[in-house]
Amino acid sequence: MISRDNVIAVLKTVYDPEIPVDIWELGLIYDIEIKDDEIVIKMTFTSPTCPMMEEMLEQVKNAVQNIAGEIPVRVELVWDPPWDLSKMSDVARLELDLTEQGW
């Protein structure tokens, strides 16, 4: 059985092409639902005009599918709540040199 920790570990291998931080630490993943018959990843982007959106959605799906085996993976794009800097982890803020005073 695939675990949430397994999925998170794989998501940490997918990086935003414009920022040297993975999508998990950026706070782009809003939910992970693991069912017997499907894995659903709800994610967002920093901007609805992201030029890499389709490619990144496919990267996420493929990364999780690689560990899911026969279980289908579905990635849902969500915009509510809107992404903002507060969704980033401390790791991401340190990597991008964003202190509380800077954001």
Share of the chain above pLDDT 90, in %: 75
Query: Domain residue spans in the chain?
Result: 4-84
Sign of the dihedral defined by the CA atoms of residues 48, 21, 8, 37, in that order: positive
The predicted model scores a pTM of 0.89
> What is the fold of 4-84?
GMP Synthetase; Chain A, domain 3 (3.30.300)
Q: Between 40 and 95, where is the model more confident?
A: 40
Q: Could you report the per-residue pLDDT of 4-53, keeping only the tens digit for each?
A: 999 999 999 999 888 889 999 999 999 999 998 999 999 999 999 989 99
pLDDT at 22: 95
Task: With beta carbons less than 8 A apart as the criterion, state whether 15 and 22 touch.
Answer: yes
Q: For 1-103, where are the alpha helices, taking DSSP H only?
A: 4-11, 23-26, 53-68, 90-95
- Select from 41, 44, 59 the least CA-distant residue to 2: 41
pLDDT at 14: 97
